[in-house]
Amino acid sequence: MQKRSVVHGLAFLALGALIAAGAPVAPTQAQPGRQVRELVLVTWPQAQDPQQYEAARIAAEGMRRLGLRVTVRTMPWEQLADYIWYSRQKWDMTTWQMVGRPERSDPDELLVNLFSSSTAKDGYNFIGFIDPKYDEIAQGQREATDLTTRKKLIVQAQEIIAGAQPYTFLVNPKSIYAFNNQVWDPATIVEQKGIGIKNFWTFDGAAPKGAQKDMVLNAQDPVQAINPLYISGKVDSWITELIWDRLVRIGPDGLPRPWAAGAYKWLTPTTIDVTLRPGMRWHDGTPVTADDVIFSFTAPKGGKVPMYRPFVANIADIKKLSATTLRFTLAKPSAAFLTSTLGKINLVPQHVWAPMLQSLEGKKENAESLQEKAPIGSGPFKFAGWTRGQEVVLEANPEHWAAPKMRRWILRTVSNVEAALGGLRNGEINFLSDYLGDPAVLARLSSQDPRITVIASTDIGMQFIAYNERRPPFNDADFRRALSMVIDRNMIRLVAYKGYGVLADSPVSQALEFWHAPNLPQYAYNVAAARDLLKKAGYEWDPQGHLLYPASQTETLEVAR
């Protein structure tokens, strides 16, 4: 690892940009350690995700107008994910996305999981955002069973995030999907609010119109893991939802509905009885028992399932009342329990996973390092095969109470956008489930080929730039706010996303109209205002136009290589 030397040409370009922006350059001589070091923005390669790559490029250009030296570094998704997740002290900032999952129809998961201090060590708060007041409000909305009170708290939580800017929110994208309407009956393709047509209900209910009974889909990113105790990425989650049942599913309307739990009944604000659907079996033929369900919800409470721990932390006790009835007792009332816990936890067979978790005792690895040779769930699809980096094949489970109408679900890794389009044209793909190219190209294809139906939906998910608050200068809220003011988000929306998206300003998508907070600050593109904010916070500029820390601050971190 080496510290990159200053490139004089870049310095003069930065100085010119500052002067062009109409901002004075303070003739301050930098003492050692005051100059803000070179910052690295990591993102996907252009061929793998052109939207995030272009967003990173535009964002970096804006940051340089503040006198910053910014390098955009690309990594394949699987490498980038490991780097961000497991090297939390090393990186500066990254483009990132939270995809639209059904259980995120309720804001609880994103508000608590992304920003609670309890998930900062090894959970989804990978940026290290710590705010005791925020923790209090985020927990409070969980316990508020009165809808009006809960909504007020959710709005307050969004206001705190908008002020602190731990992320620069970019867009809630319009996810674009296409399918061959000669292979699949359009009446059985379900559009789920905030998710689009690529969802559990489509995969479970899509009806073939002819001899082709295999749904062949594409994914930009390779599958990292097929593991019910590991939230390993958007593509992996499509598979997880199909192999493993949950007590509750989130319906196309965004509301919870019974699934493996044939019924549930609240007895008190902290007590709920769940009745299991009779006759369920694991894919190896053994019955699904109440003990399996108890194991599924208690295993994450240990230290070996960190990603799912937040979703079960509020469960004080689970009692087996009969072979098919369980009573959940919560430590505190939880307004989002059905969606964020019963609709989130995958049911796993105790006879498979108990020995696997026991094998980790005394080791630093956790459940995320485990991989079944042939994953076993109880869901409507069975695992059939996985060729890493190429293809995953699932087969319909005819014994399931909601058996799919298709024969097989085949997911192929196609990292190139043009190759995915070509596959749709020639029939190698009959459901375009992951498209990051120009929407106009897909629209033209649909107009030229009546077999192709295209549907776009504003996503629950969001695209953003995440700042690592463990590393200066990102631990300074004024600095983060200034970055948000020099990132031209509208240009990113128009150029990177071709206008297919709305500007995001919160972890709660504007697709969730009821929960989204009104009147949040928008951080319009304004270089002069950003520089003025930094100046008031004590930052200065050297004669070459490089940004300097306030006089009382120095730092010696090097760029991680």
Which tens digits make up the pLDDT trace of 52-101? 999 999 999 999 999 999 999 999 988 999 999 999 999 999 999 998 88
**Stretch (H or E) spanning 79:** helix 77-86
* Strand locations in 397-479 (E): 408-413, 431-432, 452-458, 462-467
**Check: CATH 1.10.10.10 for 8-172+460-548?**
no
What percentage of the chain reaches a pLDDT higher than 70? 94
Domain with CATH 3.90.76.10 in the chain: 248-354
Give me the torsion for CA of 99, 100, 106, 108, rounded to 10°: -10
Band (13; pLDDT cuts 50, 70, 90): very low
Amino acid at 344: K
Q: Quick one: 175-244+370-455 is in which CATH superfamily?
A: Periplasmic binding protein-like II (3.40.190.10)
pLDDT at 457: 86
- pTM equals 0.72
pLDDT at 339 over 70: yes
DSSP 35: B
pLDDT at 113 over 60: yes
What is the mean pLDDT of the segment spanning 291-310? 94
By DSSP bridging, strand 408-413 and strand 214-219 are parallel
Band (2; pLDDT cuts 50, 70, 90): very low
pLDDT at 37: 95
DSSP β-bridge partners for residue 329: 271, 317
Residue with the two structure tokens 């639209």: 100
Band (519; pLDDT cuts 50, 70, 90): very high
What is the mean pLDDT of the segment spanning 109-125? 93
Band (254; pLDDT cuts 50, 70, 90): confident
pLDDT, mean over the chain? 91
Domain with CATH 3.40.190.10 in the chain: 8-172+460-548, 175-244+370-455
- Could you give the 3-state DSSP secondary structure of residue 237? helix
Token pair of 162, please?
């908008």
pLDDT at 25: 43
pLDDT at 436: 81
Band (8; pLDDT cuts 50, 70, 90): very low
What percentage of the chain reaches a pLDDT higher than 90? 78
More confidently predicted of 476 and 459: 476
What is the mean pLDDT of the segment spanning 224-249? 94
pLDDT at 30: 54
Count the neighbouring beta carbons within 10 Å of the beta carbon of residue 258. 16
- Could you give the 3-state DSSP secondary structure of residue 89? coil
What is the mean pLDDT of the segment spanning 481-503? 95
DSSP β-bridge partners for residue 132: none
Region for residue 165 given its phi and psi (left: phi exceeds 0; alpha: psi -120 to 50; beta: otherwise)? left
By DSSP bridging, strand 501-503 and strand 167-180 are antiparallel
pLDDT at 23 over 80: no
pLDDT at 375 over 90: yes
Q: Which residues contact 443 (CB under 8 A, 6 or more apart)?
A: 454
As a whole number of angstroms, the distance between CA 4 and CA 69 comes to 10
CATH architecture of 248-354: Alpha-Beta Complex (3.90)
What is the mean pLDDT of the segment spanning 269-278? 96
Band (554; pLDDT cuts 50, 70, 90): confident
